[in-house]
Amino acid sequence: MGVLFVVIGNYLPKTRMNATIGIKIPTTYSSEANWNATHRLAGKVWLAGGVLMVALWWLPGAWAVAALFGILAVMVLIPVVAVLLLAFLIPSFLDRSGQYTLPETGWQYYGGSKAKVPVGSYLKQDSEGNTHIVDSEIAADFSTTLPIYFENLSAVVIPGEMIYYEPRSNPCAKTELFSEVYCERNNVRILSREKETAVDRGFLFDGEDFYLFLEPVVVKFNGYSLELPALSYVEARYNGDVMIFNSQDKSFLIESPKSVVTAGIATGDYEISLLNDSMVLHDGMRVLLFTRVDLLESIHEQK
| The predicted structure's pLDDT at residue 38 | 79
Query: How distant, in Å, are the alpha carbons of 16, 76, 113, 115, 236 from that of 146?
Result: 24, 38, 13, 11, 14
* pLDDT by 10s per residue, the chain, length 303: 667 878 887 888 877 666 667 777 766 665 566 677 778 888 888 888 888 877 776 777 677 777 777 888 888 788 777 777 765 554 444 444 567 888 889 999 999 999 999 888 888 887 777 888 888 677 677 888 999 999 877 899 999 999 999 998 878 999 998 999 999 877 899 998 778 999 989 999 999 999 999 999 999 999 999 999 999 999 998 778 999 999 999 999 999 998 899 999 988 899 999 999 999 998 889 999 999 998 999 898 865
Residue 166 three-state SS? coil
| The predicted structure's pLDDT at residue 151 | 85
| The predicted structure's pLDDT at residue 303 | 56
In the DSSP assignment, the letter for residue 261 is -
* pTM for the full predicted model: 0.69
| 280: nearest Cα among 291, 293, 292, 268 | 268
| The predicted structure's pLDDT at residue 233 | 97
3-state helix, strand, coil split of the chain in percent (to 5) is 25, 35, 40
**Number of residues assigned to the chain:** 303
| The predicted structure's pLDDT at residue 294 | 87
Domain ranges of the chain: 2-93, 154-302
Separation CA 82–CA 77 (nearest Å): 8
| The predicted structure's pLDDT at residue 135 | 81
| The predicted structure's pLDDT at residue 93 | 46
| The predicted structure's pLDDT at residue 180 | 93
